[in-house]
Amino acid sequence: MIYIGSHLSVAKGYTHMAETMVDYGGNTFAFFLRSPRGGAAKEIDPEDAAGMRKIVEEQGFGPLVAHAPYTMNLAAAKNEIRMKAEKMMREDLSRMDEFFPGNFYNFHPGSHVGQGVDIGTYKIAESLNNIVHGDGSTTVLLETMAGKGSEVGRNFEELRELLDRVEFPDRFGVCLDTCHIWDGGYDIAGNLDNVLQEFDWTIGLDRLYAIHLNDSMNVCGSHKDRHQKLGQGEIGAEALKAVVQHPALQGKPFILETPNEPAGYKKEIAEVKGWMRKD
């Protein structure tokens, strides 16, 4: 089996998110700890957080996958922007440790904005080492990127390079986004086994902690990063079903980031549950 859920809005609080996912029929979810565009973090009401933890525990949810703001760029050229990004991540992680310990925090490694991938990689790793130390119960996940613009992490090698440079590798892992790797040129519809084999050789499947399950509006290798509803994009339902059923991916949280209203997520969660292996 796998855990399945979707991205949710925190607008109505943390307990409300867990209630929403119970209503959707899922058993994990993703959320931002602040506006996806960054900005100041709203204080977390301890009771609201406790309400969420209670539901998550009672319902036997899998690990949750918090998402860093999209604008957080640890590779920024301007030091001021980079220091702001570090502050954001440090705050988010301490909030995770305090209110939702033992879960995942996923982030886009960064964009080198013309500095080149080597400098980008150097900066991201340096920032991660400034932020993430041996203490803390949150596992930090680097997301596989589509290679839009100057994104770092556009292939497995670039993620491996980052993981090789962090001082506390046990605190890190990878979140695989099916739309992103497809757009990045990994043909998961044509040969899923080979792609996962390559992941294993380059990074190691033991470093894979979570999946973002999305279809893509564009063809393999397009580097576009436009998510689509399951089965309505270029990856297709058969290929996504094979991802859900793949032996190497069992036991992991799968998060839908498809362009959906609540009713759409409910439907997709039911669909994925129908795809799941029964063993």
Q: What residues from 142 to 161 belong to the interface with Fe ion (CB under 5 A)?
A: 143
> To the nearest 5 percent, what fractions of the chain are helix, strand and coil?
45, 15, 40
CB atoms within 10 A of CB 51: 18
Report the alpha-carbon distance of residue 219 to residue 222 in Å, rounded.
6
Report the alpha-carbon distance of residue 205 to residue 221 in Å, rounded.
22
Residue 225's binding partner out of Zn ion, Fe ion, none, with CB under 5 to 8 Å set by partner kind: Zn ion
Residue 212's binding partner out of Zn ion, Fe ion, none, with CB under 5 to 8 Å set by partner kind: Fe ion
**With binding defined as CB under 5 A, does residue 183 bind Zn ion?**
no
CB nearer Zn ion, residue 132 or residue 181? 181
Smallest separation (angstroms) from Fe ion to the CB of 223: 15
**With binding defined as CB under 5 A, does residue 177 bind Fe ion?**
yes
Query: Is residue 273 within 8 Å of 4, Cβ to Cβ?
Result: yes
Plot region of 60 (φ>0 → left; ψ -120 to 50 → alpha; else → beta): left
* x/- track of binding to Zn ion for residues 196-235 (CB under 5 A): -----------------------------x----------
Report the alpha-carbon distance of residue 148 to residue 248 in Å, rounded.
27
Report the alpha-carbon distance of residue 258 to residue 133 in Å, rounded.
33
Residue nearest to Zn ion (CB): 225
Residue 161's binding partner out of Zn ion, Fe ion, none, with CB under 5 to 8 Å set by partner kind: none
The single residue among 53, 123, 212, 252 that binds Fe ion, judged by CB under 5 A, is 212
Residues that bind Fe ion (CB under 5 A): 143, 177, 212
The residues of the shown chain that bind Zn ion, judged by CB under 5 A, are: 225
